[in-house]
Amino acid sequence: MTKKLWEHAGHELAGLVASGNVSAVEVADSVLSRMEQAEPDVHAYLTPTAERARADARKVDQAKAAGEKLGPLAGVPMTLKDIICTKGVRTTAGSKMLESYVPPYSATVAERMAFAGLPLIGKTNLDEFAMGSSTENSAYGPTCNPWDLGRVPGGSSGGSAAAVAAGQAVVGLGTDTGGSIRQPAGLCGVVGLKPTYGLVSRFGLIAFASSLDQAGPITRDVRDAALVLQAIAGLDPMDSTSLPNPVPDYSARLEDGIDGLKIGVVKQISQEGVSQAVQTRFRGAVSILEKLGAQVGEVSLPTFDYGIDIYYLIAPSEASSNLARYEGVRFGLRIDAPDVLTMNSRTRAAGFGAEVKRRIMLGTYCLSAGYYDAYYLKAQRARTLIRQDFERAYNDFDLLVSPSAPTTAFAMGEKLQDPLTMYLSDICNVPTSLAGAAAMSVPCGVSAEDGMPVGIQFMAPALGEETMLKAAYAFEQELGFDAKPAIWSAS
Amino acid sequence: MSDDLVTTIGLEVHVELKTATKMFCGCPVGFGGEPNTRVCPVCLGHPGTLPTMNEKAIEYTTKIAMALGCEVAPRSIFHRKNYFYPDMPKNYQISQYDLPIGSHGILEVEVDGQRHKVGITRAHLEEDTGKSLHMGGGGRIHDADYSLEDFNRAGTPLVEIVSEPDITSPAVARAYVGELRSILEYLGVSDVRMEEGSMRVDANISVAPPGERGVKVEIKNMNSIRSVLRALQYEEKRQRKVLGAGGSLDQSTRHWDEKSGKTNPLRSKEEAFDYRYFPEPDLVPVEPGVEWLRQLKEELPVLPAERRRTYEDDLGLSAYDAQVLTATPGLGDLFETALNSATQADAKQIANWVTNNLAGLLAADGEATLDTVKPADLAGLVDMVAAGDLSTNQGQDVLAKMLNTGKDPKALVDEAGIKQVSDSSELESIIDSTIADNPEVAERIRAGDQKPFGFLMGQVMKATKGQGNPKVVTEILKKKLS
Amino acid sequence: MGIDKKQVEHVAKLARLDLGEDEKELFGSQLSAILEHAQTVAALDTDGVTPTSHSVPLLNVMRPDVAREPLDQAEALANAPAVESGHFRVPRIMESE
Ligand SMILES: [Mg+2]
Ligand SMILES: [Zn+2]
């Protein structure tokens, strides 16, 4: 076997473990050693959990020894974005505020992944409280893009995307509020899926914007994405917004093909504002879909142009309320002061980074007396228009596609000084978030300009994951994208 | 001149529901106990936690709305009320804003024969805060060196009932709070213990010439129905005095001090409040639907007002007796069951024994509670008195024994050999010898001086060991001394 | 959509953020720029459009009134910056003048 264990996709490793060819502990050790190798360059992890990983793996091996039937991802080393609460394991949200916070409970998704037998390799880096598109807003330093260490991995789930792309984890979970799974997946050349709002429990995801947050898989291929989604999807009584709908078997129809499937190319986010190199790759991807028998047409969703603006009125407003609990009383950082108000204010000033403060200020302003109707309420109405735009589009199409991001990964620091242009790097992803629908990013090649990965975004109506995965799988198989970052083989 | 000033009062009452668990998490609801032992990640506002609605709390609030004659919203939602306070874990309170569960209700109270209708603006559901313990400075928040937070109470379901400013006097305010407390007790949705804070009353009171808008002053910290009356009476007098002296009032919040019997100004935060309400994205809307509402309506008990009406109109009880009997569900239940099993006594007599004797004894003795008395036994006792087998005094002694021993009156009467002697031949001989023993007293009475009659009466009763029927004894004595 | 220093300071106080002068400057101009950009939304015709405050079509999601095991006191206080006799300790609540 020339391929090292850590190089395999999850479903391959699970097969090896289930058939007894290798032990889960061997797999974990392989990935852990790979982590040691790549981590100094990539800095994907905030809290590695090697011992926990081996203990989890040992449980899988014991289950196997006891003759238990192993799940389709049992023994596959995973990483969790460090905004997903893990009982007994420090969870920072990438913030100084929670530097020493150890949750007394675990997120539902963390428990379901553990139940599925995936050993926890560590907690990965992110933009502070998931606010950002480059992972440069982490209080613990940026994560580097494995394809070019001078570039950002995207964000906010940049740590998970980079870890999976660099072989430091086989699968990972990220969270996506306005593109935070899809955009970094696209920029790192991996698969990232943002589920329909309500399909995956939010219980234990440190809240950014409650009406938008969703957790989802970041994986090396579409099949793993389907399997991870299978593990985490479904009703959770701890989340009142979680959907009671039965969860289909996402792997069952993967290979059905897309002959005759109607796919719409979204005009608004496939041209202006999208770099030439990305457009070229994207057009190539679209022709592959045609080649596979899909009926491709262009579709116009006028309200898409308003997505970012609507998003930046709604998300910060909710965030300003969600982040009020960090004030130095029950957990987290405290800067002492003679009275509570001063203690709160100094604690928050010291504990939050610039982007978080900016969004808290923006959101507080949008909700404050005299502005609520003009900003938050107006944005909530506009949000309805976006949903309606999608509904119209899905009358004519089964799926929509667009680039996953307007450009390839940009240089570290390039957009740090200008929030607005940074915000615009989520332009392709925000509309589906506002609509609460499903979307995923799949690699569609590398840019002819800079050799950086480019992703195609598949969008589906609410609970359209099955069709979306089927199309993504067919596309992935046909394209056969197997390029890897240089550091992949540098070992 | 201050006589033509009009008093306007509005009340905001917060009521803790006695559900088994908190509003948005599964922690048990309770009072007292070790600090921070009825808490979980959710009610401590830990990162990533989410609220889940307590169905029972929604039902209770809906019943309260119904009992207060409110329109029950076909659709209500929760909002976030954003403000920082160390006893509030998330630094926002999940409350209701423009779509409360109940609105536009009415509560009618009677004060010295006068009916007053008080409008209910809204009845909404929210979560309670934790408790701050102020250390140093005599435990007063203003002088404290620091504070300690206990979140056992945080997240307890809390219903806020806001009245219209329809209340025209402190007495009406007291009646309103009393009636509201009875209703809530009848519904069985709260302990309504003001001392323990499971029912909390804030008041807005203003005094102004007729037709003019007064300056609203908010009064806090009234921990009993009595202090509601006293605080508002004090504040009313204070405002009238200021205005009477040509002075002016400023909108403020004042704190009622039970000991000094005064309201004192609270140092007002200079920070303007801006709660930034917005719909709680973590909870979905509540739409009860007709079927559910019908079911809840069916579960509503007979409420105090209706009970009072039947007692007065059908049973002919006095307004006072009806009021006392219906104040708490327990007394009324006892009265009704006793009345059913009574053979001789009528409603008035039973009512009398419950409101005067029993209520008095219960008040006197701390141990005994209503359920120590079996309604049938009470009926039996009042029957014996009604039949003349026992004097009222004897009856009271027996009732006292019933409370202590839980035995039935017949048994107690036989044990102690208590009975009332009404047989005149038996009494006459006793009376004759008593007169013989006090010749000069008898003479004075015959001479027309009635003063010593009572003395002689007492001598006879003594001789009968208190068992002589006072009515019969008086008759015979009068006859023999005329 | 200019936001002046007074507004920035008012918002910062509501949000309990002790901002430095430079931050007030920066956020003032950046918020103005972001809201300026957001004026496009103001132009959208949303008359009679119902706002989307929930992304899911759910109603009456409730839980039965059944108690769960709470944390024990030590767990509850484990992450606290300051603790005293089973409580979370905080500085005086009234602002010290
Ligand atoms: Mg309230
Ligand atoms: Zn709790």
pLDDT digit string, tens, across residues B81-105: 999 999 999 999 999 999 999 999 9
Cβ neighbours for B370, distance < 8 A, ≥ 6 positions apart: B330, B331, B334, B362
Q: Tell me if chain A has a CB within 8 Å of the CB of B130.
A: no
Check whether the bond before B429 is cis (ω within 30° of 0).
no
Buried b (16+ CB within 10 A) or exposed e, A332-352: bbbbebebbbbbbbbbbbebb
Structure tokens of A308?
């970012």
Catalytic one of A30, A133, A134, A156: A156
Is the CB of residue C6 less than 8 Å away from at least one CB of chain A? Answer: no
> Distance between CA B464 and CA B461 in Å, rounded?
5
Q: Specify the residue for token string 């010593």.
A: B452
Nearest CA to A339 among B11, C90, B165?
Answer: C90
Residues 366-405 of A with CB under 8 A from C: 368, 374-375, 377-385, 387
Measured at the alpha carbon of residue B56, what is the angle toward residues B55 and B59, in degrees to the nearest 5?
90
Cis amide bond preceding A156, omega within 30: yes
Structure tokens at A361: 């200020």
Say if CB A468 and CB A247 are below 8 A apart: no
C16: DSSP letter: T
Residue contact B147–C59, C-beta within 8 A: no
Q: Do A434 and A212 form a contact (C-beta atoms < 8 A)?
A: yes
d(CA B107, CA B7): 19
Q: Which is nearest to B344 in space by CA: B409, B405, B406?
A: B409
- Number of neighbouring beta carbons within 10 Å of residue B32: 7
CB pairs under 8 A between A and B: 97
How remote is the CA of residue B12 from the centroid of ligand 1, in Å?
A: 8
Alpha helices in B271-423 (DSSP H): 289-299, 304-313, 319-327, 329-341, 347-352, 359-364, 375-387, 392-405, 409-416
Least Cα distance to A380 among B230, C50, C97, B389 occurs for C50
Q: Which residues contact B112 (CB under 8 A, 6 or more apart)?
A: B171
User: Do A294 and A260 contact (CB within 8 A), yes or no?
Assistant: yes
CA B169, chain centre distance (Å): 19
Residues, chain C: 97
Q: Which chains touch B (3 or more CB pairs under 8 A)?
A: A, C
What is the β-pairing status of strands A295-299 and A262-266?
A: parallel
C15 in contact with chain A, both atoms CB, cutoff 8 A: yes
If we measure between CA atoms, which residue out of A174, A250, A216, A211 comes closest to residue A470?
Answer: A250
Does residue A81 carry a catalytic annotation?
Answer: yes
Per-residue pLDDT, A491: 54
CA distance C11 to C59: 34
pLDDT in tens, B271-323: 568 999 999 999 999 999 999 999 999 999 999 999 999 999 999 999 989 99
ipTM: 0.97
Distance CA A468, CA A195 (A): 10
Q: B301 to each of B52, B398, B466, C10, how far by Cα in Å?
A: 29, 34, 46, 50
pLDDT digit string (tens) for chain A, length 491 residues: 479 999 999 999 999 999 999 999 999 999 999 999 999 999 999 999 999 999 999 999 999 999 999 999 999 999 999 999 999 999 999 999 999 999 999 999 999 999 999 999 999 999 999 999 999 999 999 999 999 999 999 999 999 999 999 999 999 999 999 999 999 999 999 999 999 999 999 999 999 999 999 999 999 999 999 999 999 999 999 999 999 999 999 999 999 999 999 999 999 887 778 999 999 999 999 999 999 999 999 999 999 999 999 999 999 999 999 999 999 999 999 999 999 999 999 999 999 999 999 999 999 999 998 999 999 999 999 999 999 999 999 999 999 999 999 999 999 999 998 888 899 999 999 999 999 999 999 999 999 999 999 999 999 999 999 999 999 999 999 999 999 999 998 65
Ligand nearest to the CA of B123: 1
What is the band of C94 on the pLDDT scale with cuts at 50, 70, 90? confident
DSSP bridge partners of B133: B148
- Written as six digits, the tokens of B274 are 């801006």
Contacts of residue B440, defined as CB under 8 A and 6 or more positions apart, other chains included, come to none
Identify whether the C-beta of residue B123 lies closer than 8 Å to the C-beta of residue B106.
no
Is A238 at the interface with chain C, CB within 8 A? Answer: no
The pTM score is 0.93
* Residues of B with Cβ-Cβ distance to A104 under 8 angstroms: 41, 46
Reduce the DSSP state of residue C88 to 3 states and report it.
strand
- For the question of residue A180 being annotated catalytic, the response is yes
Confidence of residue B269 (pLDDT cuts 50, 70, 90): low
Return phi, psi of residue A102, to 5°. Answer: -115, 105
B vs C: CB pairs below 8 A: 125
Q: How far is CA A145 from CA A5, A169, B309, B407, C77, in A?
A: 22, 15, 80, 87, 39
% of chain C residues with pLDDT over 90: 88
